[in-house]
Amino acid sequence: MADAGRTARVVKNAVRSAVTQAAEVALEKVAGLDTPRAPGVPAAKPPKVAEPTKPIEPLPPKPDQTGPDRRTPTGAETLVTRDQVAQQGKFLTTSTGARLRDTDHSLKAGDRGPTLLQDHHLREKITHFDHERIPERVVHARGSGAHGVFVGYGNAKPICRAGFLARGKETPVFVRFSTVLGSRGSADTVRDTRGFATKFYTDEGNFDLVANNIPVFFVQDGIKFPDIVHAGKPHPDREIPQAQSAHDTFWDFVSLHTEAQHHTMWNMSDRGIPRSYRTMEGFGVHTFRTVNQQGETALVKFHWKPKLGVHSLTWEEAQLIGGIDPDFHRRDLADAIESGAYPQWELGVQVFEDTADETFQGIDLLDPTKIVPEELAPVQPIGLLTLTGNTTNFFAETEQIAFHVGNLVPGIDVTNDPLLQTRLFSYVDTQLTRLAGPNFNQIPINRPHAPVNDMFRDGFHQHAVHAGVAPYKPNSLDGGCPFHASGPRDGAFVDVPVRVAESVKERDVPVSFADHFSQVRLFWLSMTPVEKQHIINAYTFELSRCYEQAIRERQLLALARIDPELCAEVATGLGLPAPTAEEALPVVEASPALSQLGQEWPTDGRIIGIVVADDGDLDGVDDLVDAITDHDMVAFVIGPHGGKLSNGTVVQRTFAAGRSVELDAVLVAGCPAPAPDAFPVRDAKADEPLAPLDPRVRLMLEECYRHAKAIGAWGSGIEALAAAGVPVDVTGVVTGTKGSDVLAEVEVLLRSHRVWERTVVG
Ligand code: HEM
């Protein structure tokens, strides 16, 4: 026994000394390396290789991070500072504040003996860990959020009395973007609808605009929501596929329940694969009713218009990114905020007269499968949203936020849209389970900034310490408090006294809801040729992933009712005969506003890669990085190895770790010969290393070209283009003698997002 103990000690000491030596070697290697300028810094201060041994004051949060406003559960401001809620003391304690001497070893009967039940610290630590997970959202489980501010323009006053829309009024907000179908850990870039939910912490209470990036919905009546979600979620027997609609149950449902065809077409379009949360539109979908100071009402549809324009990935990019960087959108949002490229959207409204039939030019405003084309009712901007702060703690903020379409403020009310009516029930109901009890609005991220006095009492996790003895009305013991606000003058939310037509109780829909196809055709006809091609490709891909031919044939019948060309192209791809529609196609006007293409937008936050060769012409590369950064874009220097190049330039991506899909444009500053790791055995994406160009760079340039990205080259970089088979005499490929000139031209191209002109649509 004694010998065994000695051996164990010798091994332990040897391991310790090996680790220390390795740490010292690593320390020497990294000494002198600058921190790369790319966003993504993990902590407020870079760590040392050696494990810290002395307690220090807690590190401050990173400058880009913010957190929920520090309010009491009843909405009052507090003097509590961020570090006081952050649990970042010098010493480890129990959850009740007793300092701990050792959290590395459990209390045992001898060092080889059984663990003792009396080890209260072990039990507390493990028990808490065992309960760290909460249920994920039943839909929209995968998401990412940020803090920001909304500023009203004041021009909504004639239609809406909500205080947060007043001119210059600043209201703090939290926004959570999401995908719908996937689990919490699914990839960001799947083809799906995106959520765009905003909580406005207004002086009159929280207002939640729980929107999507698609203006119509799959179903007209909320009672069908579980059906579409069950159809879109993975098959219940094998739990596949994750986070996507390319499977039998989804297409089975939408081909039978044809009111889903409009939303499905949007999903199959480029809207289903956004480039970034920052480049998505948002839509409240339903029609809401607004009320002004005089009590007059209007019907409105809410829109979020991104300042950067609406842009998408290509399908191949989306698939590659799903593997290379499943957190692509989450990272993009956080990186943009960290690097000061604050994303912005204008809130806009389409306004309609509040008529008895609740229609506009024949479009039923209560049907959530219909849009009102912007050409008929322009979107009028009424305020500006800017996202300025990343979360300090994902769970506390993004995971625990609870949106609800019933969180309304005076001036904004709901309509009888049967989808919206169900939503009014669903959100609170699901949050009772997800956030374990009825007090979730007291969680810091949900706390209103307006005073709360709701007479709700008790329940799990009650944070308020209610005074008084009479949480009921009427009472005399608490002096009759709280009183009702007398009306709008006292800031009360007053339900609009909408007349309800005399009717019978029935499970039915209005006749106007029966048109399932005219607006799908409208959307299709509004697309440019390249956008149409993407839609054809998406339908063909998704349907070819369905096992059952009957389902494919049924969906082709639906496509025939939308457009014969679309139907024929998809049918050809599937190897099936194209059916013809039995009824005449609806006659509709295209709405050019639905196309994403044809304009120019700011390039803020766009990522430009600069491919360099260690022994090439590195003069001016640092200046280019500065110029790109000065223009609020992000530069990634892509080199053969990490660290610094011979001129001192810091490399952000190696040929091995970089991939075209994270770039919006690429500049080629040299023709790097195959690097020492350019063999398939060392980097699976490397081809045989043939001079003059590293095969990973060749792949990068080929992909950028195929994905219609702007490419610029000068000096020996032009040889790299030739070696990669990238033609130089086509639109979107810029060559020159000076990097700065080439960058200027590439930046102009980037304003249109991509160079679709060089993509031939047959
Ligand atoms: C009757 C139809 C609908 C029902 C029953 C429903 C239900 C739900 C439920 C249960 C959640 C999870 C909420 C949570 O766990 O906190 C959710 C999330 C969400 N829903 Fe709906 N939904 C419906 C329609 C819609 C529509 C039409 C939109 C868009 C206009 C939408 C946008 C969202 C968004 C953005 C989220 C994520 C909120 C977040 O980020 O936490 N939903 N929905």
User: Which residue ranges form the domains of the chain, and what is each CATH number?
Assistant: 143-446 (2.40.180.10), 515-594 (1.20.1370.20), 607-758 (3.40.50.880)
Q: If pLDDT is split at 50, 70 and 90, which confidence band does 83 have?
A: confident
Question: Does the annotation flag 137 for ligand binding?
Answer: yes
Q: Which atom of ligand 1 is nearest to the CA of 210?
A: 35
On the question of pLDDT at 30 being above 70, the answer is no
Q: If pLDDT is split at 50, 70 and 90, which confidence band does 761 have?
A: low
CA of 137 to the centre of ligand 1 (A): 9
For ligand 1, atom 23, the nearest C-alpha belongs to 423
Average pLDDT of the residues in 214-225: 98
Q: Does residue 140 have its Cβ closer than 6 Å to ligand 1?
A: yes
Q: Report which residue type is found at 48.
A: K
> d(Cα 423, Cα 718) in Å, to the nearest integer?
57
pLDDT value, residue 42: 86
Strands (E), 259-392: 282-283, 288-291, 297-306, 344-353, 359-360, 363-364, 380-391
Q: Which atom of ligand 1 is nearest to the CA of 178?
A: 40
Q: Which atom of ligand 1 is nearest to the CA of 426?
A: 5
Average pLDDT of the residues in 310-337: 97
Q: Does residue 427 have its Cβ closer than 6 Å to ligand 1?
A: yes
CA of 210 to the centre of ligand 1 (A): 7
Calculate the average pLDDT of the chain: 93
DSSP 399: I
Q: Report which residue type is found at 669.
A: A
Can you name the residues that pair with 194 across neighbouring β-strands? Answer: 179
User: Smallest Cα–Cα separation from 289: which of 281, 280, 297?
Assistant: 297
Peptide linkage before 241 cis (omega within 30 of 0): yes
CA of 525 to the centre of ligand 1 (A): 30
To the query of whether residue 441 is one of the catalytic residues in this protein, the response is: no
Question: Does the annotation flag 460 for ligand binding?
Answer: no
Q: If pLDDT is split at 50, 70 and 90, which confidence band does 12 have?
A: low
CA of 687 to the centre of ligand 1 (A): 46
Can you name the residues that pair with 711 across neighbouring β-strands? Answer: 666, 733
Average pLDDT of the residues in 404-412: 98
User: Is the alpha carbon torsion for 306, 308, 311, 313 positive or negative?
Assistant: negative
User: Which residues, 6+ apart, have CB-to-CB distance to 114 below 8 Å?
Assistant: 108
> d(Cα 704, Cα 47) in Å, to the nearest integer?
36
Token pair, residue 486, equals 């007398």
CA of 370 to the centre of ligand 1 (A): 18
Token pair, residue 3, equals 């010998």
What's the burial of 371, exposed, middle or buried (CB within 10 Å: 0-12/13-18/19+)?
Answer: buried
On the question of pLDDT at 466 being above 90, the answer is yes
The predicted model scores a pTM of 0.93
Residue with tokens 């090996």: 18
pLDDT in tens, 371-387: 999 999 999 999 999 99
Give the other-Cβ count within 10 Å of 655's Cβ. Answer: 26
Q: Does residue 370 have its Cβ closer than 6 Å to ligand 1?
A: no
> d(Cα 304, Cα 290) in Å, to the nearest integer?
17
Question: Does the annotation flag 706 for ligand binding?
Answer: no
Q: Does residue 431 have its Cβ closer than 6 Å to ligand 1?
A: yes
pLDDT value, residue 11: 46
> d(Cα 98, Cα 453) in Å, to the nearest integer?
35
Q: Which of 9-18, 108-117, 299-308 has the lowest mean pLDDT?
A: 9-18
User: Smallest Cα–Cα separation from 385: which of 302, 297, 270, 273?
Assistant: 302
Q: Does residue 422 have its Cβ closer than 6 Å to ligand 1?
A: yes
pLDDT value, residue 26: 39
pLDDT value, residue 35: 45
CA of 427 to the centre of ligand 1 (A): 7
Question: Does the annotation flag 457 for ligand binding?
Answer: no
User: Which residues, 6+ apart, have CB-to-CB distance to 206 below 8 Å?
Assistant: 199, 200, 407, 409, 446, 448, 450
> d(Cα 473, Cα 484) in Å, to the nearest integer?
10
Mutate to test the pocket of ligand 1, among 286, 287, 427 (most ligand atoms within 8 A of CB): 427
Peptide linkage before 482 cis (omega within 30 of 0): yes
Q: Does residue 211 have its Cβ closer than 6 Å to ligand 1?
A: yes
How far is CA 351 from each of CA 24, 278, 516, rounded to the nearest angstrom? 67, 25, 24
Mutate to test the pocket of ligand 1, among 136, 137, 188, 371 (most ligand atoms within 8 A of CB): 137
Q: Does residue 222 have its Cβ closer than 6 Å to ligand 1?
A: yes
Q: Which atom of ligand 1 is nearest to the CA of 284?
A: 30
Say what percent of the chain tops pLDDT 70: 95
User: Is the alpha carbon torsion for 289, 290, 296, 298 positive or negative?
Assistant: negative
Checking 72-81 for CB contacts under 8 A at 24+ apart, the result is 72/447, 72/464, 73/439, 73/442, 73/447, 73/452, 73/463, 73/464, 74/451, 74/452, 74/453, 74/464, 75/447, 75/448, 75/449, 75/450, 75/451, 75/452, 76/451
Peptide linkage before 438 cis (omega within 30 of 0): no
CA of 63 to the centre of ligand 1 (A): 32
Q: If pLDDT is split at 50, 70 and 90, which confidence band does 233 have?
A: very high
pLDDT in tens, 572-611: 999 999 999 999 999 999 999 999 999 999 999 899 999 9
Q: Which of 23-27, 272-276, 327-331, 678-682 has the lowest mean pLDDT?
A: 23-27
On the question of pLDDT at 480 being above 60, the answer is yes
Q: Which of 39-53, 135-149, 186-200, 528-542 has the lowest mean pLDDT?
A: 39-53
CA of 403 to the centre of ligand 1 (A): 8
State the catalytic residue, choosing from 147, 206, 212, 753: 212
Token pair, residue 621, equals 């590369």
Average pLDDT of the residues in 160-182: 98
For residues 366 and 321, is the Cβ–Cβ distance under 8 A?
no
Average pLDDT of the residues in 618-642: 92
> d(Cα 108, Cα 226) in Å, to the nearest integer?
51
Q: Which of 13-22, 402-411, 460-469, 572-581 has the lowest mean pLDDT?
A: 13-22
Q: Does residue 434 have its Cβ closer than 6 Å to ligand 1?
A: yes
Q: Does residue 302 have its Cβ closer than 6 Å to ligand 1?
A: no
Q: Does residue 418 have its Cβ closer than 6 Å to ligand 1?
A: no
Average pLDDT of the residues in 698-711: 97
pLDDT value, residue 57: 84
Q: Could you give phi then psi for residue 486, rounded to 5 degrees?
A: -75, -20
Question: Does the annotation flag 499 for ligand binding?
Answer: no
Strands (E), 32-72: 65-66
pLDDT value, residue 32: 44
User: Which residues, 6+ apart, have CB-to-CB distance to 581 below 8 Å?
Assistant: 560, 561, 564
Token pair, residue 593, equals 């506003």
To the query of whether residue 463 is one of the catalytic residues in this protein, the response is: no
Q: Could you give phi then psi for residue 501, rounded to 5 degrees?
A: -65, 145
Q: Which of 189-198, 253-262, 328-337, 642-651 has the lowest mean pLDDT?
A: 642-651
pLDDT in tens, 254-274: 999 999 999 999 999 999 999
User: Smallest Cα–Cα separation from 558: which of 263, 315, 270?
Assistant: 263
For residues 313 and 190, is the Cβ–Cβ distance under 8 A?
no
Average pLDDT of the residues in 133-140: 98
Mutate to test the pocket of ligand 1, among 423, 425, 446 (most ligand atoms within 8 A of CB): 423
Question: Does the annotation flag 521 for ligand binding?
Answer: no
On the question of pLDDT at 33 being above 50, the answer is no
Q: Could you give phi then psi for residue 235, rounded to 5 degrees?
A: -60, 135
